[in-house]
């Protein structure tokens, strides 16, 4: 979209939506937010993207399109040595975000009311950018992503999230139906919410759109803010895998991988037929992704990391490198110490006895000097291959013996 007037008109409409319904509508607490999201914790982000923990924790972070500051607050508390900036179009969202972080004691964060298109007004570059659920609401997503790319420091990473077209088919149909009924009142977001709720209530039982809302979205959409964000948004571009990679290829950045890689494993869909699974795995990587997209219409979004080269990459295939590495237990874990825990994705994991022993040994390390994998193996019954698997499952983070 090259028309500056049209771009501004759409951006203004988006800002009006979020001034009417600040999003996300999470409560403000007088304490640090509970739990974790590993995508908001710099050591796990860096480890996912490179294979190892970062050399420094005093990084500069941009939360681009921060809304009411839910993600910004987590980033600030999970990364106390970081310098965090949140930006958003909506004046009310920024006011809420500022109050949220003030109340919870997040002191390493600032906020600015600013469009992603105007990030050139911010001085310097960022080691890490979080931009979740935002660029698909921009009139020109590529221009927005390219603007963010100019602010990413060499060796930096950006996490993005956009909607997937196939998984949001019913949502798209309802968006168009609401807009049609609203007619000249489109842009009156409170009217849009009312119309949408009336349509859902009026549809016959068994209607596909009504059933999808009831089965998948109703729990969150009882809040008008969520309903409005989903069904009466003035601007939304949904992506297929092909259009997603067109966006990525034009960004000037390097694709690291999906941040929910388990979703993109063919095994979870075709494991019951090993011969078919083996045949599917002979496809090029992108065609494997395409096959998952086609076979699983429940996928409603894409989430992934991009990098600005050069950035370090570590492999733990060589035994010597793994034995000399310094391991730490991933702090994005709940229920520890126990052999049954919630892992970094809040999935229940049952640890083998030797895995549990190794994680205990990681926790038992003295601050300095820290023990290597070889040292800790002598204190537990774990094998070197078990340690390698623990790193791949993000149960542990690894620091090379000589951090570069």
Delimit the domains of the chain by residue range: 4-165+238-307, 166-231, 319-399
| 367 has pLDDT over 90 | no
For residue 364, what pLDDT band results from cuts at 50, 70 and 90? confident
What single DSSP character describes residue 393? T
Q: Which is nearest to 64 in space by CA: 15, 124, 134?
A: 134
Q: What is the pLDDT of residue 319?
A: 96
| 1 has pLDDT over 60 | no
d(Cα 353, Cα 355) in Å, to the nearest integer?
A: 5
b/e sequence 164-202, b meaning 16+ C-beta within 10 Å: bbbbbbbbeebbebbbeebeeebeebeebbbbbeebbee
Determine contact, residues 285/339, Cβ cutoff 8 Å: no
Number of alpha carbons in the 13 Å side-chain half-sphere of residue 102: 7
d(Cα 133, Cα 39) in Å, to the nearest integer?
A: 14
Q: Which is nearest to 313 in space by CA: 43, 14, 48, 4?
A: 48
Within 10 angstroms of residue 304's Cβ, the number of other Cβ atoms is 19
Which phi and psi angles does 350 have, rounded to 5°? Answer: -100, 115
| 13 has pLDDT over 50 | yes
Tell me the pLDDT tens digit for each residue of 164-212: 999 999 999 999 999 999 999 999 999 999 999 999 999 999 999 999 9
Q: What is the pLDDT of residue 378?
A: 87
Tokens coding 237: 């571009």
Q: What is the pLDDT of residue 379?
A: 83
Q: Which is nearest to 230 in space by CA: 203, 245, 209?
A: 209
Q: What is the pLDDT of residue 401?
A: 87
Average model confidence (pLDDT) for the chain? 96
Calculate the CA dihedral of residues 81, 311, 396, 386 and round it to 10 degrees.
-170
For residue 404, what pLDDT band results from cuts at 50, 70 and 90? very low
Within 10 angstroms of residue 392's Cβ, the number of other Cβ atoms is 11
Tell me the pLDDT tens digit for each residue of 261-318: 999 999 999 999 999 999 999 999 999 999 999 999 999 999 999 999 999 999 999 9
| 342 has pLDDT over 50 | yes
- Quote the crossing angle between the two packed helices 241-251 and 141-150, to the nearest 10°: 40
Q: What is the pLDDT of residue 2?
A: 64
d(Cα 364, Cα 359) in Å, to the nearest integer?
A: 9
| 368 has pLDDT over 70 | no
Burial class (CB in 10 A: 0-12, 13-18, 19+), 41: buried
| 17 has pLDDT over 60 | yes
| 366 has pLDDT over 70 | no
Q: 4-165+238-307 belongs to which CATH class?
A: alpha beta
d(Cα 372, Cα 313) in Å, to the nearest integer?
A: 20
- Cα separation values, 87 from 91, 216, 346, Å: 10, 30, 28
pTM for the full model?
0.96
């Amino acid at each position: 979209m090259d028309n500056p007037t049209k771009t501004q008109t759409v951006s203004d409409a988006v800002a009006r939506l979020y001034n009417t319904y600040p999003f996300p509508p999470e409560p403000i607490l007088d304490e640090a937010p509970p739990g974790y999201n590993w995508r908001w914790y710099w050591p796990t982000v860096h480890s996912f993207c490179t294979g190892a923990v970062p050399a420094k924790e005093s990084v500069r972070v941009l939360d681009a399109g921060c809304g009411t500051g839910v993600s910004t607050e987590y980033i600030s508390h999970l990364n106390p040595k970081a310098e965090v900036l949140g930006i958003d179009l909506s004046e009310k969202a920024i006011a809420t975000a500022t109050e949220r972080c003030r109340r919870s004691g997040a002191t390493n964060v600032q906020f600015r009311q600013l469009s992603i298109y105007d990030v050139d007004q911010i001085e310097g570059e960022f080691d890490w950018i979080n931009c979740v659920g935002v660029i698909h609401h921009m009139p020109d997503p590529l221009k927005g992503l390219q603007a963010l790319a100019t602010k990413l420091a060499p060796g930096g990473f950006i996490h993005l999230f956009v909607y997937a077209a196939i998984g949001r088919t019913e949502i798209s149909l309802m968006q168009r139906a609401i807009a049609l009924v609203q007619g000249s009142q489109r842009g009156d977001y409170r009217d849009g919410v009312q119309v949408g709720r009336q349509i859902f209530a009026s549809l016959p039982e068994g209607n596909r759109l009504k059933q999808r809302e009831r089965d998948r979205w109703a729990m969150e959409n009882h809040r008008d803010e969520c309903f409005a964000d989903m069904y009466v948004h003035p601007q939304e571009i949904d992506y297929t895998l092909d259009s997603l990679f067109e966006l990525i290829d034009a960004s000037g950045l390097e694709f690291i991988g999906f941040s929910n890689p388990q979703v993109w494993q063919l095994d979870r869909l075709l494991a019951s037929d090993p011969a078919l699974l083996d045949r599917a795995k002979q496809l090029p990587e992108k065609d494997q992704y395409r096959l998952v997209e086609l076979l699983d219409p429940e996928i409603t979004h894409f989430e992934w990391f991009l990098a600005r080269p050069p950035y370090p990459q570590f492999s733990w295939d060589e035994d010597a490198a793994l034995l000399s590495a310094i391991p730490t237990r991933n702090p994005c874990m709940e229920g520890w110490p126990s052999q049954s825990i919630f892992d970094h994705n809040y999935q229940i994991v049952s640890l083998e006895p030797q895995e549990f022993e190794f994680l205990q040994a990681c926790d038992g390390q003295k601050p300095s000097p820290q023990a290597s994998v070889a040292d800790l193996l002598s204190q537990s019954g774990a094998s070197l291959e078990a340690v390698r698997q623990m790193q791949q499952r993000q149960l542990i983070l690894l620091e090379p013996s000589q951090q570069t």
